Structure 1
Amino acid sequence: MERQNYDSVVKFFVSVIGIIFILAVLKELQALFIPFVIAYFLFFIFHPVNVYFEKKKIPQAVTIICDVILMALIIWGLSRLVFGSVFQINQELPLYITKINHIVSNAAISFGVKDKAYTDFQIDQLFLMINVSSIAGGFLNTTLSFITTVGLVLFFFIFISSGHDKIYEALKNRFEEKDLQKQEENPTEVFNIKDTFNHIIHQVQKYILTKFLISLVTGTIIGFVLYMFNVKFFFIWALLTVILNFIPNFGSIIAVLFPALMSLIQFDSFGYTLLILGIMIVIQNIIGNILEPKIFGSSLGINPIVILISLIVWGYIWGIVGMFLSVPLTAILKITLSGTKSPNLRLIRDLMSN
């Protein structure tokens, strides 16, 4: 009994060390793993269309080329929209700087602040304290990193699309050989790696598509509200809402702050801005807390606390990209654990379940 307890403790600590090591490797080599994971998710998204083309006897190479061209067009279109809006904001920047100075100075006077740094606030002075060369260097590095990541995503996508079936067959053969005797003894207990793969693909597709449609509805409604209130760059704020809503819990909070700040700068009215902010918060709450749970139902079945923890963990490992991927990655882990026979892994699966 004592020997058995000792072995259990050793296995536990070895498992913990192994998990920490894997997370450290994922963080250290994130420049490679992030594009790889994104490419695999894109493969899941394009999988139904690719299967349809395959049934129509269209060559796989042609299908992959069409997928890559479509992704490149989407990236190009979004980049044009973003850079066009940034250019427009940059043209009106002097006006916004003047308004920010006025807002901060008035707020300081209203709250009885005597410090000249606030009552005579000049944001230009802050710019003088900023190392422009380091910002320019950081922007250049970010741009190059983005281009490199996009290139790696497309590169990995091509190889994943052409080699996924071979990976699946290799894993299937490996586990079938390992469990062959067990299956012969109990024919009803067939190996379910095919079901696991299909379940993962289906769940990822369902989550991304459903989340995209919900985010699109949210962004469209908020964009319309901002348009009705004459808030500038309403299309960009709507697009930002669609994107940020993929980040659980915190994304919707961040999404309403940017248009609210734009409203404050544009109209110089706290009351008007609070009205717009209040409407956006109501929209986010109705869709996020009432509509979205009803649509998703128990399909994911992940405990909200686990979602929050995964958001923190993946955010620490892969930054903002990890936050976007936290829910589907957690869902994949839960699905993978669903077929395990290990009591410890079953416990983890049950703790993850809602």
Structure 2
Amino acid sequence: PQRPMMLQIWHEVNLQCANYVRGKALEILIVGGATYIAFKFLGVPYAALLSLLVGLSVVIPYIGAAVVTIPVAVIALFAFGWGTHFIWVMVIYGIIQALDGNVLVPVLFSEVNNLHPVVIIISVLFFGGIWGLWGVFFAIPLATMLKAVFSAWPVKEPFSSTTPEQM
């Protein structure tokens, strides 16, 4: 008797997971492309390699950006020294990361997974608080799965206050 509901949930979760993967691929392209353009404009050596690393770093939210900051900073430091050019590279990199985490991810994944941006931010904070790095990594798919389960759940009509005489 529960099979149609389970099939509906499975179909919805499958569809939303595919949308999540497509959204991540688009995020990789956008962040990597923006980084490449910025680094080329600033004259950063190995701009293509660094932008590839920055693009791929979005696969692990927040942690990936922190880890990739090291090679970006080291290459910029060796190329430009402690001058203003180094500071510009790091500021632009920080702006790209801030825009990715606070604007691009909520807006992009609210579109592809049909979740409100606030729900995405809350799910990252909630699941990250419970399960740490793994919770952050799986926050959007878990929120999508919960949404699929709740939307497939049968809604019971509330008891009406009508009496038999009113019918």
TM-based fold match above 0.5: yes
Per the alignment, residue 143 of structure 2 pairs with 331
Is the CA contact 1:245–1:255 (under 8 Å) kept in the aligned structure 2?
Answer: no
Structure 2 partner of 1:240: 53
2-structure distance, mates of 1:251, 1:213: 17
What SS class does the counterpart of residue 24 from structure 2 fall into?
A: helix
The superposition leaves residues 289-339 of structure 1 with CA deviations (integer Å, 9 ceiling, x where unpaired) of 234433333623545243134235153xxxxxx467423542354146424
User: Is residue 2:13 matched to residue 1:200?
Assistant: yes
Say whether residues 1:310 and 2:127 are aligned partners: yes
2-structure distance, mates of 1:250, 1:305: 17
Return the index of the structure with the highest Cα Rg: 1
Rounded Cα–Cα distance in structure 2 between residues aligned with 1:333 and 1:213? 21
Given that 2:13 and 2:145 are in contact with CA atoms closer than 8 Å, whether structure 1 keeps it comes out as no
Query: Is the CA contact 1:196–1:335 (under 8 Å) kept in the aligned structure 2?
Result: no
Amino acid at match of 2:125: L
| 8 A contact 1:244–1:251 mirrored in 2 | yes
% identical equivalent positions: 18
**Superposed CA offset, 1:10-45 (max 9, x none):** xxxxxxxxxxxxxxxxxxxxxxxxxxxxxxxxxxxx
Which of the residues 90, 95, 110 maps onto 1:277?
90
Query: Which of 44, 52, 63 is 1:231 aligned to?
Result: 44
Residues 203 and 300, structure 1, Cα contact 8 Å, conserved in 2: no
Listed as ranges, the matches of 1:1-354 within 5 Å are 176=1, 179=2, 191-297=4-110, 299-301=114-116, 302-311=119-128, 313=131, 315=133, 322=134, 325-331=137-143, 333-335=145-147, 337-338=149-150, 339=152
Following superposition, the deviation at residue 275 of structure 1 comes to 0.6
| Distance of aligned partners of 1:235 and 1:292 in 2 relative to their CA distance in 1, 3 Å threshold | same
The letter of the residue matching 2:95 is: V
Matches of 2:44 and 2:77 in 1, distance apart? 10
Letter in 2 for 1:327: A
Aligned partner of 1:300: which letter? L
Q: For 1:327 and 1:260, how far apart are their aligned partners in 2?
A: 29
* Residue correspondences, number: 148
| Matched letter for residue 72 of structure 2 | P
- Structure 1 residue identity aligned to 2:28: S
Partners of 2:63 and 2:122 lie apart in 1 by: 14
Gaps of 5+ in 1: 1-175, 180-189, 316-321, 342-354
TM-score of the superposed pair, with normalisation by structure 1: 0.36
| RMSD (Å), alpha carbons | 2.9
